[in-house]
Amino acid sequence: MTPLLFRASTAVSGLGTGLQVTLQGLRDNRSGLRPNEFGALPFVCHTGTVDEVQLVQLPAALQSFDCRNNRLALLALQQDGFIEAVQASVARWGAARVGVFLGTSTAGIHETELAYRQLDPQTGALPARFSYAGAHNAWSLTNFARSLLRLQGPASVVCTACSSSAKVFGVAQRMMETGLIDAAVVGGVDSLCFTTLYGFHALQLVSAQPCRPFDVARDGISIGEAAAFVLLERVPASVDADAVLLAGVGESSDAYHMSSPHPQGHGAIAAMRAALEAAALEPDQVDYLNLHGTGTRANDSTEAVAVATLFGDRVPCSSTKGATGHTLGAAGALEAVISALALRHGLIPGSPHTAAVEPQLAAQYQRSARTAELACVLSNSFGFGGANCTLALQRAN
Amino acid sequence: MKIAVIGVGALGPDFADWPALRALLKGTTVHQPARTSLPPPTMLPPAEQRRVGPAIKLALAVGGEALAGSGLDATTLATVFAASGGDAENCDALCRALAASAPQLSPTRFHNSVQNAAAGYWGIAQRATAPAMSTGAHDASFAVGLLEAATQIVAGQRPVLLVSSDTDYPEPLRATRPIPDALGVALLLAPPFPAAPATLRIEVRAGVADGLAQPSLESLRAAIPAGRALPLLQRMALGGAGVVHIEYLPALVLRVEVDGAA
């Protein structure tokens, strides 16, 4: 594929608000996971919570979009000069030529969960303040961002569970390639809610401790919330040497099971191969691999098999979910932004909480952050339903 | 963007398949009020058949109809699933369970709640390892799916199965999202080729969407996101050349030049 430029990016997660804090957190191998305080749950877990979201207020004209998910989206959009960068893009291309494609798994469903606890005792109706289109429906996320940013181009929401906001990079790339748009806001937002906390607990996939990706004693995920956005444009004639490019997007399906990955990692291998092929890269050219690495027994085992099959033990890799938690539909975009920070600042992120590494990845797994010259990074995202996506990012120089 | 239509699937109120809907759209039969009847998802293994809800049954049924007889290999066929939401009944059941004083969630209900459940089950049923997209935009979900499929076909020069389907919520969500019934359409699409039954040339434009002359079909178009496909399907049912405008995002339409019949 023709590479695209990361013109601007931003991220908010339990690790921090904005790129600078996120980068420092990665350098310090800090974890944003804390004992959960959300929703008085009847089980113990850790979560990556964004406390500031409580203080965010949506603009008066966009109140119908009010929910934790859209507040989190707004908090991220307000960081790192992102809104200004989008405005500059609109000035360059026109509002109808800037697309917006965002991923989420649960959008504002927490509003619905709360509303179901307040049904009218006589009629069974939802409370009057409930907004289906503004909060519950997945499109509420993209519609909110598109309205806030005053964009008038093509737009959609992608819901492929935990690969949602990786796949949006592919949507934008195809829209650019077919000439429908000149720039795209891509990203993902997922916020804490009962559906995912109780749901993953029902699947016995939530750890009581902070998650330990690729640790031999790992026993599940820690759920996090995050919002991350990237403004993609075509690569201009001259760019800074440390500019980051989207070089390839690779997608595949497991065709195996709704909530368990293919044991030999066939889908993961196919996604990584497709990303390398799209970027015209050989496996040996990859300098760092940001793993999906959720911390479940099954995910990390199969991803380790897939990585060993494709890269042997040559490529340094880590999962950053020990720092952020598993941010589900936001993970693809959050980890794309983390991968871009790694490229730009010459940093291989570590894996807080991971102690004894799974033998298959012991040689190359990075428990602690370190500096390194990076030219090419892959980022993996795998979702329920076997929806896999790998992004290949490169430095411009 | 120019793409070919190879196959069509349809299922909704008073039509069990594309031939039945085609007859309604051509006016050779008259649409009668009826509830959509969903067939059992026989393409799935028996254990999985029992686990799936209406949204998945609907998507698999129309997808299977569009694919049947095409000769295309489902294992390598990319898919785009467009929907306004996930399985509506499952969503209500989860929200009710979570509202209980001591919530107990079914693991199956949880993993079926992802909006790519239909894509996931299609993959399992067909051993389809090609990329599967699940996307939408509330009432514009059909147009979003068609545009996504078209960009995949043009950029990747490969066929794509598009499934656009929506199911109705029970109360209390029904009052806030009044989709009256389940309706799904599927289009098996490919790069244009000379013997294609129909070709579509698609553009994004400012404009107003076309409606349908038959009131009961127009009410399906207006009330069910996947029903927004009906003007396009009517054009292909009638055959020949013509232009239709499909509802997209506010103030935008997909202008589709149709040539041929399906």
Where in chain B are the domains? 2-199
The pair of structure tokens assigned to B147 is 């545009």
- Choose, from A110, A136, A326, A353, the residue flagged as catalytic: A326
B213–chain A Cβ distance below 8 A for any pair: no
Chain A partners within 8 Å of B171 (Cβ): 124-125
Closest CA to A77 of A21, A135, A23, A10: A10
What is the C-alpha separation between A339 and A377, in angstroms, rounded?
7
Q: What is the pLDDT along chain A (397 residues), one digit of tens a residue?
A: 999 999 999 999 999 999 999 999 999 999 999 999 999 999 999 999 999 999 999 999 999 999 999 999 999 999 999 999 999 999 999 999 999 999 999 999 999 999 999 999 999 999 999 999 999 999 999 999 999 999 999 999 999 999 999 999 999 999 999 999 999 999 999 999 999 999 999 999 999 999 999 999 999 999 999 999 999 999 999 999 999 999 999 999 999 999 999 999 999 999 999 999 999 999 999 999 999 999 999 999 999 999 999 999 999 999 999 999 999 999 999 999 999 999 999 999 999 999 999 999 999 999 999 999 999 999 999 999 999 999 999 999 8
Cβ distance of B84 and A202 shorter than 8 Å: no
A266 is known as an active-site residue: no
Cβ atoms of B60 and B121 within 8 Å: the answer is: yes
What residue of B is the nearest CA neighbor of A129?
B176
Q: Which fold has domain B2-199?
A: Peroxisomal Thiolase; Chain A, domain 1 (3.40.47)
Q: Contacts of residue A98 in chain B, CB cutoff 8 Å?
A: none
Q: Which residue has the tokens 């990556």?
A: A48
- A190 close to B (CB below 8 A): no
- How many C-beta neighbours within 10 Å does residue B171 have? 13
The amino acid at residue A391 is: L
Closest residue of chain A to B175, computed from CA coordinates? A125
The count of other CB atoms within 10 Å of the CB of residue A218 is: 26
Using the Cβ of A267 and the Cβ atoms of chain B, whether some distance falls under 8 Å is answered with: yes
CATH number of A147's domain = 3.40.47.10
Interface confidence, given as ipTM, is 0.98
Tally of structural domains, chain A? 1
Nearest CA in chain A to B126: A255
Q: Which domain holds residue A333?
A: 4-395
Q: Is A159 a catalytic residue?
A: no
The catalytic position among A292, A317, A353, A376 is: A292
Q: What is the DSSP string of B12-79?
A: BTTBSSHHHHHHHHHTSS--------PPP-TTS-HHHHTT--HHHHHHHHHHHHHHTTS---GGG-EE
Which tokens go with A244? 């980051």
